[in-house]
């Protein structure tokens, strides 16, 4: 009787459904590129048009300077086997270069990529780093952006509907650490920027998305107290003007 029930169940499902393959993990590899043994962090993944995978990473400490010890890099691996194909460094003379957080890059229509991060000079001043990789995942250039004489650290960028670029991160341009949303044209010229946050506590933003109406949505952290934060969602119009903001979830204690 049990065997009959199993057979009937199998027939009800249909052989096609019953034997439909399920994708599983293809590979699990550790990479130690450029300078083996150095601290290395992967911050983003992008799929190349040829099926290979671009891994956006940074190296700590870098070896060509006693001070400038962080470099942004691009590791390209085979999309099927995971074999390392190339690894390049975005050379940023006289400054550190941090690639950003939370999948900091975005793909352009021509198959190349933009990314949002930050540089640091010897005075510990931070500027937005807008960098580029070509369609093969190789570094192809960068610019630094500093809308005002303050610290600016980008964590993510997106290509906007008009071909420009929108970045989010943190700045102390208001006198304390606030979230910023900054819009540039396609080559990085600043068009406008806005800030959001608590007037006397440190705020954080790590992601931005573009909404169907042309506005933006930012994700980050809002400080309820000096030691407790909650998830934070910000909604703006197409010029970054605040429409609403909402804390979400339970408070998390910070150190």
Instruction: Give the 3-state DSSP-derived string for 159-210, with helices as H, strands as E and coil as C.
Output: ECCCCCEEEEEEECCCCCCEEEEEEECCCCCEEEEEEECCCCCCCEEEEEEE
pLDDT for position 141: 96
pLDDT for position 17: 47
pLDDT for position 18: 47
- Please state, in angstroms and rounded to a whole number, the distance separating the CA atoms of residues 75 and 33: 8
Q: Quickly count: other Cβ atoms within 10 Å of residue 100's Cβ.
A: 28
What is the pTM (predicted TM-score) of this model?
0.84
> For the chain, first and last CA: distance in Å?
62
pLDDT for position 13: 47
DSSP class of residue 116 equals: E
pLDDT for position 90: 92
Per-run averaged pLDDT (10 residues), the chain, 255 residues: 49 48 73 78 95 92 60 93 93 90 94 96 92 97 95 97 97 93 97 91 91 96 78 95 86 58
pLDDT for position 27: 83
> Which stretch of DSSP H or E encloses residue 2?
helix 2-13
pLDDT for position 110: 97
pLDDT for position 50: 96
> Which stretch of DSSP H or E encloses residue 17?
helix 15-18
Q: Quickly count: other Cβ atoms within 10 Å of residue 157's Cβ.
A: 27
């Amino acid at each position: 009787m049990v065997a009959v029930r199993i057979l009937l169940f199998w027939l009800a499902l249909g052989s096609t459904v019953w034997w439909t393959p399920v994708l599983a993990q293809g590979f699990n590899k550790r990479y130690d590129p450029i300078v083996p043994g150095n601290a290395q962090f992967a911050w983003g993944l992008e799929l190349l048009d040829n099926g290979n995978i671009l891994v956006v990473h940074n190296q700590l400490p870098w070896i060509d300077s006693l001070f400038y010890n962080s470099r942004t890099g691009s590791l390209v691996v085979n999309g099927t086997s995971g074999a390392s194909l190339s690894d390049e460094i975005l050379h940023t003379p006289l400054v550190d270069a941090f690639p950003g957080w939370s999948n900091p890059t975005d793909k352009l229509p021509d198959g190349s990529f933009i990314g949002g991060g930050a540089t640091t000079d010897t005075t510990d001043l931070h500027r937005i780093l807008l960098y580029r990789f070509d369609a093969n995942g190789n570094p192809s250039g960068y610019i630094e952006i500093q809308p005002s004489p303050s610290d600016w650290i980008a964590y993510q960028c997106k290509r906007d509907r008009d071909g420009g670029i929108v970045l989010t991160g943190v700045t102390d341009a208001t006198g304390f650490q606030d979230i910023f949303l900054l819009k540039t044209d396609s080559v990085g010229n600043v068009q406008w920027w806005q800030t959001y946050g608590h007037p006397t506590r440190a705020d954080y933003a790590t992601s931005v998305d573009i909404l169907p109406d042309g506005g933006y949505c930012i994700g980050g952290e809002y400080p309820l107290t000096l030691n407790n934060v909650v998830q934070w969602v910000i909604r703006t119009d197409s010029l970054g003007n605040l429409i609403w903001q909402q804390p979400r979830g339970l408070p998390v204690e910070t150190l």
